[in-house]
Structure formats: structure tokens, C-alpha cells
């Protein structure tokens, strides 16, 4: 009986400790929310100065690798931006990708790149497979296949998408309606911030090539990403608190300002963005992006299609002129996804993912057919039926 009593007392103390921690966390959130609210007015009055400070200070990116600041003063004053319902028809193409590697299991090593496309029109529904075998695979491998270079793999995916559009899609695009491409391929590539700089620059050059191509054929690319970084909050820290990131309450302390450590862009904006509305557009930069007038700027914004869901979206600068249509289209795609699949997401993108064959057993059938086809070709060539 005594042991049970001691156990109950112990459990009660744990619950009390957790309750205290939760209350402290809530206090911190309230504190930082108030702090940022106070910052908004001066922040909105100095948009060009924010950009100058972050770009010109060589130490800025040593502290945080990502930054974002409002593109437009009028939007920033509103914080939560709605859109008028539109009956305008648009062409939406979802693009999903999968990289299937068999570089450890078989000889010669094998990598399959699969791109899946889904659109309202059946001509936009197909899967594209690219197989790299043997010597071709070595350019993706580090240390004799101990690991694969994800930067080069992703670069190849972007190159394959350009090829597919040039050879199979662009000539069928209806010039009388807007065409949107939805993908979860990132434009900012934050997952590679700590990678080799030379390889990252090659990847960004490829992405820039893709964006310029889409711009030339009037296609608007939209990237759905799940990064939890907080470039907007980082800009607050840099602009208002200086390089040391201290607030008035902890200016003498060695640690970073506590309230600004516990809040993120999503937490902050969730409390500001209304249902079915979006945040302002933010100019974005990270430590690997090279400032170059010939490159397309990347913008980000946060969309709240439902009360319980907020999503970061990346677009090139030229897409900002279509932001109303993008907003409407994404809301429609979200609602269709919720009705069809009973889950958060965007219909065309999720549909494209479900059409991938390399994520299921069908890939064996596909591989078998391809290998048989190549074997027959080689045999016909050897006996003189094919002369190439």
C-alpha cells in the first residue's frame, strides 16, 4: 500500500512538472508574439533596408542559413490575404518523382528515375522512366557506391522534366488557359545547404534553366514543400535584434533570446492567417544562392486552406503576377483532394504520386519488359536485322 502511495505521489509530481513546463512554453509564445507584433510597424516601413542589411552583412548567413522578407508593403500590412472565387478554367499538371536505386543489389549497378505526370486532359497522364546502368551510374556515386550524391540525382530529375515538356507536353498546352505545374520538387533546396558549394551551384543553375523554360512557354511552376525552417523569423532576429539576437530582457545573457527560439514561421503565421487565406509574398534567399540578375528570384508564401493545415509554397518571381489565380487554384486542388482522398494535400500532385510504378511491385514487370526489349534489339543488331 505504501509503495502504491509513493508511486502515485511520484506520478503526480511528474504531471505537475509537465504542467509547469507547458505553462512556461505558452508564456514564451505569448511573449514572442507580442514582441513581433511590436516589430511589425517598423519592419513594414523599412523593406528595402531589411534586404540591404541581410544581403550586405557578411556575417548574417553564419547565424542563419535562410532569410525571407516581405515583397510588398501593402500586403504586409494586411498579413492575411483573401482571394475572390474565380470561374476561370486552368490546366493543372501534377508532377511526382521517384528514384529507385539498385546499385548495391545487382551488377552492373542500376538507377531508375521515374517522373509521373497527371492532368485533367489524358495527354498529360503518363510515366517517364530513365534508366542509368553501369558506368553511367558512377557520376552519382561517392566513395565507390558507399552513398549516392543526392544533389546530382535531383539535378537529373529537373533535366528529365525539361526533356519531357519539350518532347511530349509543350506542343499540347492550350494557349488560351493558364497552365500550372504542381510538384514537391523544391526551388530553394534547403535540404542541401551543407553540401559542396560547387555542386549546389550546378543544381541551382539547372533549376534556373527549368524556370526560364517554363516562363518561355507560359507555364507557372508551384512547389509544395514541407521545410520547417523559419526564414521570416530569422529576418526579424537579424533586423531587430542584431547579430547577437538579444532582446532587451536578456541583453546581458549569453544565450540566444529565449522567446525567439520557440517560435517558427508556421506557428507565427498560423495565428495571423485566416482560413482559406494566404500570407504576404516573401522574397527568399539562402546561404547557397548566388545573387545574380540573370537568375529568377524565388518567393515563398504560406497558404492556410483549412483551419488545421498550413503549407509553405515556393514560386518563381514571374509567377507572382498570377498570385490570385494560384491562390484560387490551390484552394480548389486542396478541396478536391480532401473530397477524393480524405486527406490534406493537393489533388493533381497526390494523383501523380499514386501513378508512380517504381514504388510498387509493377517496377519488376517494367524492368523485365525493358530488359527483354533491349536484349531483342541487341540480338537483332548482331544478326544484321538492325543496322545501327
3-state secondary structure of 105: coil
| pLDDT tens column, 136-189 | 777 777 665 556 788 888 999 999 999 999 998 888 888 778 899 999 999 998
The predicted pLDDT at position 20 comes to 60
Residues in CB range of 101: below 8 A, 6 or more apart: 110, 111, 112, 148
Whether 364 shows a pLDDT value over 90: the answer reads no
Residues in CB range of 376: below 8 A, 6 or more apart: none
Q: In this structure, is residue 197 part of a structural domain?
A: yes
Q: Which long-range contacts (CB under 8 A, 24 or more apart) does 246-249 make?
A: 247/35
The predicted pLDDT at position 252 comes to 42
Q: Tell which residue, 274, 321, 283, has the closest CA to residue 301.
A: 283
The parent domain of residue 309 ranges over 79-228+264-356
The predicted pLDDT at position 359 comes to 66
Query: In Å, what is the CA distance from 154 to each residue of 3, 70, 113, 197, 289?
Result: 59, 29, 10, 15, 16
Q: How many domains does the chain have?
A: 1
Q: In this structure, is residue 26 part of a structural domain?
A: no
Q: In this structure, is residue 136 part of a structural domain?
A: yes
Q: In this structure, is residue 367 part of a structural domain?
A: no
Yes or no: say if 49 and 233 are a contact pair by the CB < 8 Å rule: no
CB-based burial of residue 106 (10 Å sphere; 0-12 exposed, 13-18 middle, 19+ buried)? exposed
Q: In this structure, is residue 347 part of a structural domain?
A: yes
Whether 387 shows a pLDDT value over 60: the answer reads no
Whether 291 shows a pLDDT value over 90: the answer reads no
Residue with cell 522574397: 283
Dist. CA 294–CA 50, nearest whole Å? 22
Q: In this structure, is residue 373 part of a structural domain?
A: no
Query: Quick check: pTM over 0.85?
Result: no
Question: 301: pLDDT confidence band, cut at 50, 70 and 90?
Answer: very high
110: domain CATH number is 3.30.2170
Q: Which residue has the higher pLDDT, 378 or 216?
A: 216
CA within 13 Å, CB half, 75: 20
CA angle 355, 132, 201 (to 5 degrees): 90
Q: In this structure, is residue 60 part of a structural domain?
A: no
CB-based burial of residue 66 (10 Å sphere; 0-12 exposed, 13-18 middle, 19+ buried)? buried
Query: In Å, what is the CA distance from 171 to each residue of 123, 166, 228?
Result: 11, 8, 38
Whether 344 shows a pLDDT value over 70: the answer reads yes
pLDDT (average), residues 111-135: 86
Q: In this structure, is residue 384 part of a structural domain?
A: no
Amino acid at each position: 500500500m505504501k509503495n502504491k502511495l509513493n508511486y502515485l505521489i511520484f506520478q503526480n509530481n511528474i504531471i505537475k512538472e509537465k504542467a509547469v513546463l507547458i505553462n512556461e512554453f505558452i508564456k514564451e509564445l505569448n511573449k514572442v508574439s507580442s514582441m513581433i507584433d511590436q516589430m511589425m510597424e517598423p519592419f513594414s516601413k523599412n523593406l528595402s533596408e531589411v534586404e540591404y542589411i541581410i544581403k550586405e552583412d557578411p556575417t548574417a548567413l553564419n547565424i542563419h542559413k535562410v532569410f525571407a522578407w516581405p515583397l510588398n508593403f501593402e500586403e504586409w500590412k494586411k498579413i492575411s490575404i483573401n482571394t475572390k472565387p474565380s470561374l476561370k478554367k486552368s490546366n493543372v499538371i501534377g508532377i511526382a518523382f521517384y528514384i529507385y536505386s539498385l546499385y548495391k543489389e545487382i551488377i552492373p549497378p542500376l538507377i531508375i528515375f521515374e517522373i509521373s505526370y497527371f492532368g485533367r486532359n489524358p495527354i498529360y497522364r503518363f510515366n517517364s522512366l530513365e534508366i542509368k546502368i553501369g558506368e553511367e551510374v558512377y557520376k552519382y556515386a561517392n566513395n565507390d557506391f558507399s552513398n549516392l550524391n543526392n544533389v546530382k540525382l535531383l539535378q537529373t530529375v529537373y533535366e528529365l522534366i525539361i526533356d519531357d515538356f519539350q518532347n511530349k507536353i509543350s506542343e499540347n498546352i492550350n494557349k488560351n488557359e493558364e497552365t500550372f505545374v504542381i510538384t514537391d520538387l523544391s526551388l530553394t533546396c534547403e535540404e542541401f545547404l551543407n553540401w559542396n558549394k560547387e555542386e549546389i551551384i550546378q543544381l541551382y543553375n539547372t533549376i534556373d534553366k527549368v524556370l526560364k523554360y517554363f516562363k518561355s512557354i507560359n507555364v507557372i511552376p508551384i512547389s509544395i514543400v514541407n521545410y520547417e525552417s523559419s526564414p521570416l523569423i530569422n529576418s526579424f532576429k537579424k533586423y531587430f535584434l542584431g547579430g547577437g539576437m538579444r532582446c532587451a530582457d536578456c541583453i546581458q545573457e549569453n544565450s540566444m533570446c529565449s522567446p525567439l527560439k520557440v517560435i517558427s514561421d508556421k506557428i507565427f503565421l498560423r495565428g495571423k492567417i485566416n482560413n482559406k487565406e494566404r500570407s504576404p509574398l516573401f522574397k527568399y534567399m539562402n546561404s547557397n544562392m548566388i545573387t545574380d540578375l540573370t537568375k529568377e528570384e524565388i518567393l515563398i508564401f504560406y497558404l492556410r486552406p483549412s483551419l488545421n493545415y498550413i503549407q509553405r509554397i515556393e514560386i518563381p518571381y514571374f509567377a507572382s503576377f498570377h498570385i490570385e489565380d494560384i491562390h484560387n487554384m490551390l484552394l480548389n486542388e486542396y478541396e478536391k483532394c480532401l473530397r477524393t482522398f480524405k486527406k490534406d494535400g493537393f489533388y493533381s500532385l497526390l494523383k501523380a504520386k499514386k501513378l508512380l510504378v517504381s514504388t510498387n511491385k509493377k517496377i519488376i514487370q517494367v524492368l523485365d519488359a525493358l530488359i527483354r526489349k533491349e536484349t531483342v534489339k541487341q540480338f537483332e543488331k548482331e544478326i544484321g536485322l538492325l543496322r545501327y
